[in-house]
Amino acid sequence: MLLKRRLIMKGLALLLASSQSLVVFAQNIFTRPDKAFESKSQEDVLKALFGDTRVTVSDQIEIKVPEIAENGSTVPVSISAEMENVESISIVVSINNKPLAGNFVIPPRAYPFVSTRIKMGKSGNVIAVVKTKDQLFMAEKPVKVTLGGCGG
């Protein structure tokens, strides 16, 4: 009898944890910033995502990206932030026709880290914009692309 209760409790705990994940997933899908993804300039992307909030350069953001990317169609990027209350991390490549490469919502109490691959049409800077509860921070790193990934 005790074994069945434990099994039921574990099942309920798993169900509760997965339902919370589904809620976060659903919120992210329904709040996709379409206007920001369609923007044609870095300024328009930042305005669509964050309004007129001032962006501060920060050394607490670490961007890991190759200095030279052999192929611009798959440039690996990892971003982590050493700050409290991070709500989102966005990746902007201002030289692309559509500069917003990614916008990631960070759940509460999660470590602010994202890793993905992006496209770069030519050499330029990869910009990470980190939104905390109170402020916006950014960091950038240059990448030299030897073979363009956006039709180049």
* CA distances, 2 to each of 6, 7, 133 (Å): 6, 9, 45
96-106: burial string, b at 16+ Cβ within 10 Å, e else: beebbbbbbbb
pLDDT digits (tens, 9 = 90+) for 77-99: 999 999 999 999 999 998 999 99
Q: Which of 110, 117, 150 is nearest to 126 (CA)?
A: 117
User: Does the structure show a pLDDT above 60 at 22?
Assistant: no
Give the up-direction half-sphere exposure of residue 16: CA atoms within 13 A in the CB hemisphere.
6
pLDDT digits (tens, 9 = 90+) for 48-81: 888 888 999 999 999 999 999 988 889 999 999 9
Helix count (H) and strand count (E) of the chain? 3, 9
Cα–Cα distance measured from residue 139 to residue 58, given in angstroms and rounded to the nearest whole number = 6
Q: Does domain 35-145 have CATH number 2.30.40.10?
A: no
Domain ranges of the chain: 1-31, 35-145
Kindly indicate the confidence band of residue 15, based on its pLDDT and cuts at 50, 70 and 90.
low
* CA distances, 60 to each of 70, 119, 129, 141 (Å): 28, 25, 11, 14
Percent of the chain with pLDDT over 70: 82
